[in-house]
Structure 1
Amino acid sequence: MLLLNNLNSLLAALAFYTCCPIPTKSQLDFSRIARWAPAIGLLLGGGLSLVDLGLDWLQMPISIRSSLIVVLWIWWTGGLHLDGAMDTADGLAVQDPDRRLTVMTDSVTGAFGAMVAVVIILLKTCALAAITHDRVWVLLLVAGWSRWGQVLSIALYPYLKAEGKGAFHRQGLKLPQDILLGLAFIFAVTGCQIYLQPQNWLVIGLRSVASCGISALVGYYFYRKLGGHTGDTYGAVVEWTEAVTLCLFTIPSN
């Protein structure tokens, strides 16, 4: 029964965070899906890696390959996180703090939201195009760490709305086990990379520490700006962590 409940919860997370079609007969349980966010990120990164390897096998230029991967990245997530980053940018652009949440709930995208979307997509595409080695590991870990940062923000900071699409995330989170669960998934992938590339253990370890720090600091930044989080800022944490971490991975390891 426990295994079945966890499976239904994982499938619910997959349905919520991605565009993956889930059978309608599944008894989906959305109450605690936030704990699975890092695992969903790793699955997403794995899917993107397979596509990237296929395009590489077809000898597609890395710049075009990277652009297609970023487009697919947005498509597979339904633009969920990018939309949150855009709404957050529109809210933070307002000088009056009391109006920020109201602006963020407006479905109309403002100038700042559009600019932020362009910046994020450009950063991701250019950074990914500059990464020529270990792209499989990069896609896996970037997608995983960004969603772990989301879970950390859900756990540490207050939710700013009485109701909202992201409110149930905080209500269903169990601490500290749900934070540690995401770390376990990511460290398992990192451990596999170290096992296969033992000569690079120091670089891999340093990148893991830096990625963890970025995911935590991005969530803290939005908390300091708004006094808490909303469903939109959870998406912004994912997008900005992905963009900044991809830039981190462009730094040469030698």
Structure 2
Amino acid sequence: MLLNFNSLLAALTFYTCFPVSQNLKLDFSRIARWAPVIGLLLGTGLGLVDLGLDRLNVPSLTRSAIVVVLWIWWTGGLHLDGAMDSADGLAVQDPDRRLTVMSDSVTGAFGAMVSVAIILLKTCALTEITHDRIWILALAAGWSRWGQVLAIALYPYLKAQGKGAFHRQGLNAAQDIALGLACLLMVTGCQIYLQPANGLAISIRSIASCTITVLVGYYFHRRFGGHTGDTYGAVVEWTETFILCLSTIAL
């Protein structure tokens, strides 16, 4: 079944640190298809926290920093860890050693620098975004995880074993790509419906976000020759970052 709530709850358990009852029979076999939905829910939650802080007159920079920290906390740092490991792998000149370096639990200098860059760019970009923050947060988190689904479906997985291996094994590529895209377009359509005067700008931002999503996944494929669980996380983090930076541009 396309609608499998045990699978959706399993995705919530895997991709976030939110507690789910252990008495439920969770189905982890095809959780990747739900990643964009989890992203939309996560971004909406962050947007609601941001809105509450705004009502308390918390300054924009402080609000943005709190939201970014919550973003890391609620995901358990899963994707940021992948971005750091991917950066360490890219720093190695010998392509044959990259996967070995990425598997090392010790964070290298490039991984540390990338984590600082991502957190800094997200915080600064959010600070500059003064309108539609809840929409932008939801869609940035949603598009980035749709990029993960694309990477799983379109590119080879480079490890025989690993946390990301079962994602590819359980993916129904066409159906799962379409599911995530439909959810994202529905949310975008709702925003256009509620803000018809900004319809063109919202549409341009949506097309640009989709383009960023595709290009980030392709970039890591070109550099590594495929993907791993770490590069899936890197796709999520860098896509979120670039979409937030894009959203600072007044359209």
Under TM normalisation by the shorter chain, which class is it?
A: over 0.9
Q: Aligned-pair distance for 1:72?
A: 0.2
Mapping of 1:147-166 within 5 angstroms? 147-166=145-164
What is the aligned partner in structure 2 of residue 64 from structure 1?
Answer: 62
Task: Say whether 1:25 aligns with 2:23.
Answer: yes
Pick one of 212, 226, 229 that aligns with 2:227.
229
Q: Aligned-pair distance for 1:32?
A: 0.1
Alpha-carbon distance in 2 for matches of 1:175, 1:225: 23
Mapping of 1:119-138 within 5 angstroms? 119-138=117-136
Provide the secondary structure at the position in 1 that maps to 2:47: helix
Provide the secondary structure at the position in 1 that maps to 2:173: coil
Alpha-carbon distance in 2 for matches of 1:189, 1:32: 23
What is the aligned partner in structure 1 of residue 78 from structure 2?
Answer: 80
**TM-score, length of structure 2 as denominator length:** 0.99
Counterpart residue identity of residue 167, structure 1: A
What is the aligned partner in structure 1 of residue 207 from structure 2?
Answer: 209
Provide the secondary structure at the position in 2 that maps to 1:176: helix
Aligned residues: 251
**TM-score, length of structure 1 as denominator length:** 0.98
What is the aligned partner in structure 2 of residue 12 from structure 1?
Answer: 10
User: Which contiguous aligned blocks of 4+ residues in structure 1 show a shift greater than 2 angstroms?
Assistant: none
Alpha-carbon distance in 1 for matches of 2:152, 2:101: 21
Pick one of 26, 34, 56 that aligns with 1:36.
34
Alpha-carbon distance in 1 for matches of 2:38, 2:63: 22
Alpha-carbon distance in 1 for matches of 2:218, 2:197: 34
- Structure 1 unaligned residues grouped into runs of 5+: none
1:181-237 CA-to-partner distances (Å, cap 9, x unmatched) read 000111111000000011111111111010000011000000000000000000000
Q: Aligned-pair distance for 1:83?
A: 0.1
Alpha-carbon distance in 2 for matches of 1:25, 1:49: 30
Counterpart residue identity of residue 135, structure 1: R
Q: CA RMSD in A?
A: 0.8
Q: Aligned-pair distance for 1:104?
A: 0.2
Q: Aligned-pair distance for 1:175?
A: 2.2
Alpha-carbon distance in 2 for matches of 1:7, 1:165: 22
Alpha-carbon distance in 2 for matches of 1:170, 1:128: 33
